[in-house]
Amino acid sequence: MRTTNKYTLILRKATDGFHSIENVFGCIASITSQDIIELPHESNGFLNRFLNIIWLRRNVNGPIHITGHDHYLLWFKFKYKAILTIHDVESLNRKRGFKKYLFKLLWFDIPIRNADYVTTISQASLDAILSIRNYKTPISVIANPIANDLKKIEKEFNDDRPRVLHIGTKLNKNIERTILALSSIKCKLIIIGPTIKEMDAWLGNFNQPFEIKENLTRVELLKEYAKCDVLSFVSTVEGFGLPIIEAQAIGRVVITSNVSSMPEVAGKGAYLVDPYNVDDIAAAMLKILSDKSLRLSLIENGYKNVKRFEVEQIIIEYSNIYSSL
CA distances from 17 to 172, 213, 260, 323 (A): 17, 10, 24, 34
Residue 154 lies in a domain: no
The domain that contains 248 carries what CATH number? 3.40.50.2000
Tell me how many domains the chain contains. Answer: 2
pLDDT above 70 coverage of the chain, percent? 98
Whole-number average pLDDT of the chain: 94
Do 260 and 125 belong to one domain? Answer: no
Tens-place pLDDT, residues 205-244: 899 999 999 989 889 999 999 999 999 999 999 999 999 9
Q: Is residue 151 part of a domain?
A: no
Determine the average pLDDT of the residues in 138-148.
94
The answer to the question of residue 157 being in a domain is no
Q: Verify that 246 and 187 share a domain, yes or no.
A: yes
Same domain, 179 and 284: yes
Chain centroid offset of residue 215 CA: 16
List Cβ neighbours of 51 (8 Å cut-off, separation of 6 or more): 40, 41
Given the DSSP bridges, would you call strands 253-257 and 163-167 parallel, antiparallel or unpaired? unpaired
Res 31: pLDDT: 87
Provide, for the chain, the percentages of residues in helix, strand and coil under a 3-state DSSP scheme, each rounded to the nearest 5: 45, 15, 40
Q: Could you tell me the pTM of the whole model? A: 0.91
Indicate whether 85 and 206 sit together in one domain: no
Dihedral, 98, 102, 104, 108 alpha carbons, nearest 10: 180
Specify whether 227 is located in the same domain as 316.
no
In this structure, the answer to whether residues 242 and 275 fall within a common structural domain is yes
Same domain, 82 and 177: no
Is 211 within the bounds of a domain?
Answer: yes
Listed range (106-120, 186-200, 280-294) with the worst mean pLDDT: 186-200
Range of the domain at 92: 8-145+310-324
* Nearest CA among 276, 272, 279 for reference residue 294: 272
pLDDT per residue over 281-306, tens digit each?
A: 999 999 999 999 999 999 999 999 99
How much is the pLDDT for 27?
Answer: 86
- The per-residue pLDDT for 255 is 98
